[in-house]
Amino acid sequence: MKPKQLTIQAYHNQISELCDLVQEIARQSGFNETTAYSCSLAAAEACENIIHHGYGGETHHEITLNIETTVTGSLMLTLSDEAPAFNASLKPEQSTWSPENPPVGGLGLRIIHRVMDEVLYERTSSQNILTLIKHIQQ
């Protein structure tokens, strides 16, 4: 499958278009509905973090998604933005909380690391490049 690219404005109402594309490509690549949704959820959480923490709220900035399937069948999502540097590949520290009183917010990175097989980060000049990889289960 040919790689696809989508650039969205850093507004919360733009994220659903990006998520729809991730789910569609994941399904076309052979992932089941649950896994396709998980990949979409990870992309949504990453975009939310970029908008909220990176850009400081909705702005005229952009987020670009490159999505491709590797020769081994893995799905690779690469998100790039021009927010200040932030390494999302580092797993967040475990904290304890009760299921009766879960935290509001602050779970995005945990979700990303839980549902994706690899989370990679690099900073090139003025860009954050976050790569999320999900391997197809054989």
For the ranges 10-19, 30-39, 107-116, 119-128, which has the lowest average pLDDT? 107-116
Question: CATH for 4-94+107-134?
Answer: 3.30.565.10
Distance in angstroms (rounded) separating the CA atoms of residues 43 and 29 = 17
Tell me the HSE value of 49 on the side-chain side, using a 13 A CA sphere.
24
Domain ranges of the chain: 4-94+107-134
pLDDT at 61: 96
β-pair partners for 129? 80, 122
Mean pLDDT, residues 11-25: 96
Helices (H) then strands (E): counts for the chain: 3, 5
pTM: 0.89
pLDDT at 101: 60
